[in-house]
Structure 1
Amino acid sequence: MTEKQLHIAFLGIGLMGGPMTRNLLDAGFSMTLWNRTASKCEPFKDQATIADSPEQAVRDADVVITMLENSEVVEQVLVEQGGITALKSGALLIDMSSIQPSVARRHAGLAAEQGAGYVDAPVSGGTVGATEARLSIMAGGLEQDVDRARPVFEVLGKCTRIGPVGSGQLAKLANQAIVGITIGAVSEALLLAAQGGADPAAVREALMGGFAGSRILELHGQRMIDRAFAPGAPARIQLKDMRMILDEARAEGLTLPLSQQVHNEYLSLIANGHSDVDHSGLLLELEHLNGTLLGSTVSGSKSARSGNRE
């Protein structure tokens, strides 16, 4: 069987799964798709088989990919709805969701009972990276299983094997700690500069050429200036990731004060009705806390403090 003759079952056709599926189909892979909201599979119905259940989707697949929202949903789909028990012997299960490392390890054990391999392979790069096939893929699993997955990963982005099962999820938690904390830092920095009278767009441009330059400042700093908070990665997902970071830290006997503070800020952001804004929308919580808006004039700031917030 050649690489492109592999039959892939893809479970989770959402913001990330949709463009990933498109890239795999365009690369010539045969695919079966399943999603909890079946209508999200419709754009691919002429090129892929649409399954009615996870069990049906994975039954004849050589490779099964899950791209689901959280540990609870992955558990429901793979365990409660029979996804793992329907795996054929010799299949490879690749979970590209962001879940707890302990859940990844347990699912690897269940897959092994079916004679199947397992790789946890969460990604970074957001919807842009998914669309442009530039995802950073952090893989945990046996070397031979990660090698088996590489023909698939090469269509989606760049894969780095981190270590044994669960290691990919640990790398993703590290990624999300940096992302969340840096979004908080960029929010505070731009608001501080703007409140003192500086042009936040000019501040961002100047900082991009120095030691503070980062992908977060480049992309999310611009989102903040443009107030463009349509979700690439929703704030509720960032909160879920921050919670997992703290859970893993407690399990390892660590205290992570920066992660704890950013978690609390995302918790407040969502409590104030912004669960589906982009995670760069953390700026909205900082504005709410200070009663001002990024880039507002002195008179505009006074108005904002009086309650006229966006």
Structure 2
Amino acid sequence: MTKNLNIAFLGIGLMGKPMAARLLSAGYTLHVWNRTPEKARQLASLGAVIAETPQQAIQTAGWQADVVITMLDAGPVVATILQELLPVLTPGMIMIDMSSTRQSEAQQFSALLARQGVAFIDAPVSGGVMGAEEGDLAIMAGGPADSYERITPLLLEMGRPTLVGQAGAGQLAKLCNQLIVGGTINIVAEALLLAEAGGADPVAVRQALRGGFAESRILEVHGKRMLNRSFLPGGQVKTQAKDMDNIQDAASKAGLVLPLTDLVSALYRELLQTHPTADHSAALLELEKHNPGIRLGSGVDHLP
């Protein structure tokens, strides 16, 4: 039944492109839009119809989207696009925002769309470009259970969805994820640089830690990137920095003081000034700036 759903996909960027490609490969019909059209056109060979405007991705002669998926840069961008879409959104539609926004923004989007009879689900993702390409994203969804059940088969084409609560809960879960990711990346960088500075082989140290209590996906993937000094983006510094700001906002609204979060946020804000589009494992470079003369390995830096 769900394969008959018409999908408008807005935002064909680093993550949006492989996510949309998986839906096309699964047999869904997509009309896609991106601010820079050439990125959207790369999906034409897979069967996507390229729309010139966000509104045209949702409604044109002979076409009406049932589901709208947004994968955009930040909450303010989603808010702007949403205002443009209001005239073509109709009761019964479902809007899935897979961007990373603030919890409060997702709740505002939900309230706005409810007045038009449109269901809203915030469903941010984790897993990077590799996870998007492999259909193995962690998808954290917030919204009405009946709408979630309707789109679950669609989400399963992109990853492993979990309904974690009402509107905004998906974004809160994503922020919890990004807090763990951002903090752990910095801890792994410090551990590997400590091994280097103390005279151990950091490659061997990482291997020795695998399988013990320090094992993690971050040690596996980002630890390897640091050792190879490969900072071509999977998840970008600018995105991690934005997420850290949103985490601080959520903590403030919840009345929490999170000292480590504040420290990690400050480190990413510094890194944002020099390497905004690098992979967030480039936290190693910021750490090395604080330790002049000490460098992990002897390879050259691979940067975007």
Give TM class, smaller chain: over 0.9
Find the counterpart in structure 2 of residue 27 from structure 1.
26
Q: Distance in 2 between matches of 1:295 and 1:265?
A: 18
Paired-residue identity, %? 50
Task: Give the Cα separation in 1 of the matches to 2:2 and 2:277.
Answer: 38
- Equivalent in the alignment of 2:80: 76
Residue 73 of structure 1, CA deviation? 1.1
Question: Within 2, Cα distance between the matches of 1:215 and 1:296?
Answer: 21
Q: Of residues 139, 148, 152 in structure 2, which corresponds to 1:137?
A: 139
**TM superposition shift of 1:61:** 0.5
Distance 2:51 2:296 in 1: 49
Q: In structure 2, how many angstroms separate the alpha carbons of the residues matched to 1:166 and 1:243?
A: 16
> Displacement, 1:209?
2.1
CA contact (8 A) 1:225 1:294 kept: no
Q: Which moved more, 1:130-139 or 1:100-109?
A: 100-109
Which of 77, 94, 97 is the aligned partner of 1:95? 97
Aligned to 1:305: none
> Do the aligned residues in 2 keep the contact of 1:139 with 1:163 (CA within 8 Å)?
yes
State the Cα distance separating 1:294 from its structure 2 match.
Answer: 3.3
Displacement of 1:72 in angstroms is 1.4
Alignment RMSD, CA only?
1.4
The aligned counterpart of 1:184 is: 186
The alignment status of 1:221 with 2:228, answered yes or no, reads no
Equivalent in the alignment of 1:277: 278
Q: Work out the number of aligned pairs and report it.
A: 295
Q: Does 1:202 align with 2:204?
A: yes
Q: 1:296 to 1:218 in 2, by over 3 A?
A: closer
Q: With structure 1 as the length reference, what TM-score do the two structures score?
A: 0.92
**What corresponds to 1:124 in structure 2?**
126
Is the contact between residue 34 and residue 53 of structure 1 (CA under 8 Å) also seen in structure 2? yes
Indicate conservation of the 8 Å contact 1:127/1:233, yes or no: yes
In structure 1, what is the equivalent of residue 240 of structure 2?
238
- Pairwise CA distance, 1:111: 1.3
The answer to whether the Cα contact below 8 Å between 1:84 and 1:110 also exists between their aligned partners in 2 is no
Matching residue's letter, 1:56: Q
Q: Which residue of 2 aligns with 1:9?
A: 8
Alpha-carbon spacing, 1:293–1:25, altered in 2? closer, same or farther (3 Å): farther
- Aligned partners of 2:49 and 2:16: how far apart in 1? 15
What is the Cα deviation at residue 55 of structure 1?
1.6
SS in structure 2 of the partner of residue 162 of structure 1: strand
Question: Shift of the alpha carbon at 1:195?
Answer: 0.3
Offset at 1:296?
4.8
Q: Which amino acid aligns with 1:176?
A: Q
